[in-house]
Each structure stands twice: as structure tokens, then as C-alpha cells.
Structure 1
Amino acid sequence: MSARKWRTAALLTGAAVAAAVVTAPAAQAHQPDHGHGGADAKVIGYFTQWGIYARNFTIRNLVDSGTAARLTHLNYAFGFLDEKGSCVSADAWADYQKPFAAEQSVDGVADVEGQPLSGNLNQLRKLKKKYPKLKVYISLGGWSGSKYFSNAALTPESRKAHVTSCINQWIKGDIAGPGAAAGVFDGIDVDWEWPNSKAGEPNNISRPEDKVNYTALLKEYRTQLDRLPRGKRDLTAYLPANTREIDSGFEVAKVMRYLTFGNLQGYDYHGGWDPTTNQQSALRTAKGDPTPAPGYSSQVVIDAWVKRGAPKDKLTLGVPFFGRGWTGVANVNNGLYQKATGPAPGTWEAGGEDYKVLKTKVGAYKVYRDEKAGHAWLFDGTTFWTYDDPTEIRRKARYIEKQGLAGAMIWSLDADTSDGELIKALYDELSC
């Protein structure tokens, strides 16, 4: 089962980066407050650092779409680690160098040459000023940035040095110069994919002792974060769906003691890497699913973590704002559980597509649903897409409340429509 991937095809470089300009859509009239309705439910969205390039998706878009007003937490993806395990910027231009024009800026004020902080981090600072209840975390690692986590976690000395580096760089704000980004981040989100596993990027360093070292790393984070002022102590983690990765890499009960909350992978249960079509984010395993029991579903994932010692009220369920697809699919059973010739063509990667694009296929494709299992798919007779639309997002929100979970996590915000169709459905249902 694949984890979400850094879509490098979306990147621009050199002069193209400097020339990239976003025309922000018109501001939405309705801007809800975080305190409306079910205020305790967390709504966490990942903002992709590289989205400002080919995707033309900026922090300003979160304001204009109404998305920012519906978030309780924003995870900025990603910060990387160097070979020694120290925290570094994965893209200095995107993080703190790129000047944003007035129409791209959260407050309508253009960046000027020589200011201490530009780039996404300056826009995040402005976003927090506009939405003071919003918490912003730096997410470390991800699919393409987890190579050196094992080095960072290896010894007491390496763990201490790593955590000190990350706090200094991101929480204290030294990433763009001494204190230049101070106040931008309220916590750290650890996205190590995955400890003691060969299922991540092929070049990732992996050791059998990663499992106990992961716990020790979180303990070091908790120790150092607890020395900081209140409001800067949050520690979260992105956690896998596959029980193989859970058991090989996580001492669940111990891990959860150190986390403010954990974000469960609620997607990529199936995808174009499989020879047969299936769902990527169903709530329950369908009776006809050919996957060996218990199959892959959100209920299976939640049960696995709870059984191993995770409290439900410290878990959020990941919801995808993207779909997974296959092509060369037989026109049998509405395309479900059928052999395919390969992944469907996608804008940024084969077998993957944003919701905002998949929405435009409705009409040419027919929408199908499994009401009991809780998932939807599109099929046109040869190409199959498993995805979440507003109906399924609302179903997931009701499920999250019924299960007593902490809330929902979104990968990723740039895949929604320009008016925030999916996050509105999620927020409104959680806020009832």
C-alpha cells in the first residue's frame, strides 16, 4: 500500500519559479469562525510547499476559498533532514525567499526587497494574524523527506541534536536567519514514512532498532518542547494504515503518550500499483472485496491502532481530496474489482488526480456508491476512479463523530475546488 507522495512533477525551477504568478479568485462572502458548532473537532489540512509552482496554489487561496476559516490546524509540508539528522529547508525559495505580489498576498500587501522574511512562511505569519485561532505546524519528512530519520533517531546524542535543530530552525524561526520566522509555527508534525520499513522511498535508511528509537525520538521532542512557552508545545505524527508498518515501526501505547494527537492515513488503501480496481478510502471493508480479510478500510485502521493502545480521542482520520485511478478496465460490475492494464493518466502523476479535476468528469463518467462500505467511484466503461465527493466527505464526518475521534486530517488542500467544496462539506457536518 503506497503512502502519499511528493509530486515532483509539479515543481518549476529557476526563472520559471521567479515568474510564477497566481491570480487569486474573488473572496468568498461567508467566512465562518472556528468557534462555530462542534468547536472541539479538529480540521487539519496539509498545505504543500511546492503547490505555489505549477499548481499556482498559494496561502492566499486558502483565504479566498473560505478554507482557512474552516481549519483548526494547518500542516506545512515539508521540512527535510540532512544526513546528520538536522532540520533543513527542502526549498528555500518557496519557504522564505519568493516575493509575493499584492494580489498573491494574504493581506493584499506585496513583499518588498530586503524584508527579513518572504515566501510561504511570511504568508503563514499573515494568515495567523488574520485567523488567530489557527495553529500552524511544520511537517517534517513525508514520502520524499524521510531518508535520514533513522540517523536522527539512532542515539541519545543524535536525537537531542535533531530535536534541538528542528526547534531552533522552525519553532524559534532560525530557518530564514536568526529569529526571522519566529512565531510562524506552533508545533511539529513528524512524518517519518516509515520506521523499520522498506515500504517507503527505496533509498530511505531503515534499521530494526527504528521502532524503539521512534519512541525515544518522540520522548526527546516532548522533553524539549515542554521547555517552551505554552502554545508552542504541540507534537503530532502522521501514522500508517498498514498493520505491517504499525507493528514493525511503532510502540503504539508509548508513542501516543508523547503525541498531542496522531493523524491516521485514511487513504491509499488501494491504487494503480494494484492490478485490480478497488476503493482507496472506504469506511468499511465490503463483503465482495477480494482483498484477504480483514481488507483495508478506515474501520480496520482505527481498530488496529486502538487495539494496540491508541485512545480514539487522540486520533484523527485522514480524508483524501484526491482520487486513485486505473484504465483498461473491463466493463463488468461497474468497473469495481476488475483487472486493469495500468494506472489512469493523471495531471501530476499516473493513477492520481485532484478532486477538482475528477469533479469535471461527472457526466462523462457515472458515479457509483457502496452505501454500506462507505465509498464512491467514477466509471466510464474503461477508466475507473475511486474518490471522495461531498457526499462521501459528509459520510466520513458523521463516522468520525460516531467513532469519537479527534477530527479529520486532509491531504491535501490544493486538490479542492476554488470555492472549497470538500472542506465546506467536512466542516459543516463536523460543526452540526
Structure 2
Amino acid sequence: MRRSMLGRLAVAACSLSLLAAFAPAAGAAQDEAAGGHHRSYKKVGYFTQWGVYGRDFQVQDLEANGSAGKLTHINYAFGNVSAEGKCFTGNVPGEADAWADYVRPLDAENSVDGVADTWDQPLAGNFNQLRELKAKHPGLKVLISLGGWSWSTHFSDAALTPASRKAFVQSCIDLYIKGNLPQDGTRGGAGAAAGVFDGIDLDWEWPGSAGDTDTKFRPEDKRNFTELVKEFRTQLDAYARGQKRKSPYELTAFVPTAPAKIDAGFEVRRIMRDLDFVTLQGYDFHVSGESTTAQQSALYARGDFSVDGTVDAWRERGAPAHKLVVGMPFYGQGWTGVSGGGDGMGQPATGPAPATWAAGYEDYKALKKLADSGTYQVHRDRRGGHAWLFDGTTLWTYDDPQVLRAKTGYIREHGLGGAMFWSLDADTADGELMTAVDRGLRGR
């Protein structure tokens, strides 16, 4: 599975040094006053390329479950970076999936506009469905997310020199913003995907520190990431001007929780000038690969990773509050063989819990069924702002609507930029979590 979230399990486990709880950032009140209580919050959801297969979650499902009308941004996961330092696509197992992206025909039932794709249209697949979704929701923006856990392999090389950065950015703009897709039968061609994407999300995991086993990193990544962000900003703005585009292309980044990773890879004040916003890792604080059960996404946790600690870490390094978008999990981390009694939290376990797609990782829609089954009891740490399920043997730590209401209240209170969620295919058929976030950010 070419995913970042499962891979992030490893990085979180490797970087679990204790994080002291910080005091609230001093500038939060000023930022809230500057941003205004009535400004629009970002609601950013990841749509997974591969979710159209096993999970059978199509772009049309975002319309059917009501999420499309609540989102401000969809991040399409993921675009890959080649060994030559270029954005690319194709049909290469484990590396690229043009079939899902723009080749696969959709029938009328699975199409946003209710019309089946024809054999000769140049754009089909997820990209065409995203275009149709945007036509129904003109304010919705779609960004291509580059990298992720598994596909950050060549980021460091691509960002290494001024020449490599320029070529890398040009290739990404050509492929995704100009929409010049490789020809695949009747699909693709010059401008085939023009207008689908409104910007680029950088999901390099991680500049300057370890990520996936085959991902290269260097000490100079920190400075090179700054320069890469600047190069993207420069070229995106230049292309927008040339098009006489009414609104600029957006540029965002996914960034880590651990202070050591922040300091190794991010010149915070400098990158924040060129980024529209960053999405904060708000999950995988603890993972099912660990030998003891623990929270994975607590709002507060003294001496441990938490949402509040992540926000403070970025604020203390110079990030403006209104550009910080809080990541929220639409999935849970789970352990089995839990012993020690009590509510199961902080107890030894024998391993990751069995699950639908990968051991120790389960979609919210499946966890909701467990919570409703009567077999599991829902436990809450109300001060810490997190929840878990426990049946005496198996424990799942997850976010439900009640937890998300607390987190959206925190976002409003601290003048933050909004909420991000991994991933949209894990929500219920009626979009329960998306609705909770939307209502929470509206103060309802």
C-alpha cells in the first residue's frame, strides 16, 4: 500500500522522545483578532487514489454523503517524484497509477454528473470526477499532494540544487497545473487535465530527518526545502499571472509533530511567507507497533505528543496561527492482547489489533460499528480530549464526533486556520465526521 499514513506509523514510533507540554502560544489572541472570528476556516480532506479499489470509495461518494458541500479543499493523494527529480505518472505498480488517475472509465452510477464516460474522452478516472465535482461546487479547491510516506523517496535529490529545484517544479506544474498528461490510448494529452488542480501540497516526509527506509535525507534539506517552497511559489505565481487567473494557485505543506523533526527540516518563519497554510500532523502520536497502548491523537497530553503541543511548537518557531490547519484522524490505532485490567489505556499489549485493511489500522466507519455493538465500551479522557474503545482484550484509540467537537472548539478559540482529515474514505456513508467538523467550526 503506497500510503503515507500507514508508513507514518513507523516514523512516529521511531521519534517518540518525550514532549513537554508547552504553555499556550502568547500570540494566539492577537492572531485571532487579526484573522477575525468570522473568517472562513479551511476544511481539507485527503482523497486517496487507491481507495477506489478495495474500499470502493469514488469521488461521487463525496457528493452522495454530503462532504463535497462542506469541504474547502481536497488533497489528492498522491503524486510521485521520479529518480530524475520530476513529477510523473504512468502505470507502474507501486509507483504510479494513471489508470485510477485519468484512464479508468466511470459508469453513470459512479459519476458525479450522472453521465457515463465515453471511450474517447481525453480525461476520465478520478481527475475527471474531481473536475465534475468542482463544477457542482465552484468554491471547492483541489490540490495535488506530492510525496506521502512511500513516495517521498527522491524529494531530497529533487530539491538539492537551484537547477534541480527549477526542473522539478516545472515538471509538476506542467503535469498537474497545465494538465499535460502522458498519452494513454485515447486518454491524456496536452491540457487534458487543465483546470483540475488549484495548487500543490508538499508532503515530503521528512526533510532533514528519517522517513521511509528508502527515503534519502540530508542536513542541507532544511535550507533546500525553503528554497523549494520559494521556487514553487515563484513559478505558480508566474503561471497564474500569465493566465490572468483571478486567484493565485495555492501552495501548502504537511508538517510533523516532533520538535526534533521540525528543527531538522523547516525554517519555519521563512517557509510560512510562501505557503498559504500548513497542515499539522495531529495523529500517530502513538502507534499500534508499540508494546503499550496509548493515545494517538489527544488534544492535550502532559509530557507527551498532543495537538496542543504541536500547535505550540509551530507557533513558538514563528508560524502564524491562522496558517496552521490541524490534522485529525478518520481512523484508529489498535492493539490486541491487552493485559493489566482497567480501561486498557497505558497497558501492555501483544501486538496490533486485527483489522480490515492492515493490522492496527481501522477506518472510523468500522470502529463506529464496534462502538455500537455493545461489545466494546467507549472510554474518554475529557481533560486530554481523546477517546478509545476497549473490550477487555482489544483497544482502539480514535476520534469520534464528540472528540472532533472539542478540537474544532480549540481551533476557534486559538484562531487557527481550520481542520484537515486523513482520509475521506474512512468516514461513514452519511459523512458523520465531516459533518461534526463542519458544525464545530461554525460554532454549532
Aligned 1:138-153 pairs, distance under 5 A: 138-153=144-159
Question: Residues 389 and 46 (structure 1 numbering): CA distance in 2 closer, same or farther, change over 3 Å?
Answer: same
Residue equivalent to 1:50: 50
- Given that 1:38 and 1:430 are in contact with CA atoms closer than 8 Å, whether structure 2 keeps it comes out as no
Describe how 1:234-249 pairs up with structure 2 within 5 A.
Answer: 234-249=250-265
- How far residue 348 of structure 1 moved from its aligned partner, in angstroms, is 1.1
* Distance (Å, rounded) in 2 between the aligned partners of 1:88 and 1:119: 17
- For residues 152-210 of structure 1, give each alpha carbon's deviation from its aligned partner in whole angstroms, at most 9, with x where no partner exists: 10000000000000001001101232100000000000000001212x11001111111
TM-score relative to the length of structure 1: 0.89
Equivalent position of 1:33 in the other structure? none
In structure 2, the residue matched to 1:5 is 6
State the alpha-carbon separation in 2 of the partners of residues 49 and 6 from structure 1: 16
CA contact (8 A) 2:4 2:150 kept: no
Q: 1:210 aligns with which of 206, 218, 221?
A: 221
Aligned position for 1:128: 134
Equivalent AA in structure 2 for residue 187 of structure 1 = G
Do 2:340 and 2:348's aligned partners in 1 also have CA atoms closer than 8 Å?
no
Equivalent in 173, 176, 187 of residue 199 of structure 2 = 187
Query: Partner letter of residue 147 of structure 1?
Result: T
Question: Residue type of the partner of 1:115?
Answer: Q
Query: Residue 329 of structure 1 contacts residue 382 of structure 1 at CA under 8 Å; is this kept in 2?
Result: yes
Counterparts of residues 100-119 of structure 1 (less than 5 Å): 100-119=106-125
Instruction: Give how far 1:5 is off.
Output: 2.9
Cα separation, 2, equivalents of 1:351 and 1:141: 23
CA contact (8 A) 1:171 1:184 kept: yes
Give 3-state SS (helix, strand or coil) of 1:4's partner.
helix
Percentage identity across aligned positions? 57
What is the CA–CA distance in structure 1 between the aligned matches of 2:126 and 2:4, rounded to whole Å?
25
Corresponding position of 2:75: 75
- 1:34-59: CA deviations, max 9, x gaps? xxx95611100000011000110000
Q: Which runs of 5+ in 2 are unaligned?
A: 9-36, 90-95, 182-187
AA paired with 2:307? S
Q: Which amino acid aligns with 2:65?
A: S
Residue 174 of structure 1 corresponds to which residue in structure 2? 180
**Partner Cα separation in structure 2 for residue 267 and residue 337 of structure 1:** 17
Q: Which residue of 2 aligns with 1:263?
A: 279
| Number of the residue aligned with 1:30 | none
TM-score, normalised by the number of residues in structure 2: 0.87
Residues 338 and 394 in structure 2, CA contact (< 8 A), matched pair in contact too: yes
Change in Cα spacing, 1:102 to 1:128, as seen in structure 2 (3 Å) is same
Contact residue 5 and residue 142 of structure 1 kept, 8 A: no
Indicate if the aligned counterparts of 1:171 and 1:232 stay in contact, CA closer than 8 A. no
What code does the residue aligned with 2:198 have? D
Shift of 1:311: 0.6
Write the distance in 2 (CA, Å) between the matches of 1:55 and 1:3: 17
Structure 1: distance between partners of 2:222 and 2:339: 42
8 Å CA contact 1:185–1:232 kept in 2: the answer is: no
Q: Which amino acid in the other structure matches residue 318 of structure 1?
A: G
SS at match of 2:261: helix
Question: Aligned Cα RMSD in Å?
Answer: 1.4
Q: Does 1:159 align with 2:159?
A: no
Q: Which sections of structure 1, spanning at least 5 residues, go unmatched?
A: 8-36, 287-292
Mapping 1:1-400, distance limit 5 Å: 4-5=5-6, 40-89=40-89, 90-175=96-181, 176-198=188-210, 200-229=211-240, 230=245, 231-286=247-302, 293=303, 295-362=304-371, 363-400=374-411
For residues 198-240 of structure 1, the C-alpha deviation after alignment (integer angstroms, 9 at most, x for no partner) is 2x11001111111110001001011111112243421000001
Of 406, 409, 413, the residue aligned with 1:402 is 413
Q: Which runs of 4+ in 1 moved over 4 A?
A: none
Partner Cα separation in structure 2 for residue 38 and residue 279 of structure 1: 32
Give the counterpart letter for 1:358 in structure 2.
Answer: L
Q: Hey, what's the Cα distance between the residues in 1 that align with 2:292 and 2:298? A: 16
Aligned length: 394
1:412-431 CA distances to partner (integer Å, 9 max, x unpaired)?
00000000000001101111
Greater relative contact order (Cα < 8 A, sep 6+): 2
Contact 2:77 2:148 in 1 (8 A): yes
Q: What is the rounded CA distance, in whole Å, between the counterparts of 1:312 and 1:388 in structure 2? A: 23
Letter in 2 for 1:181: A
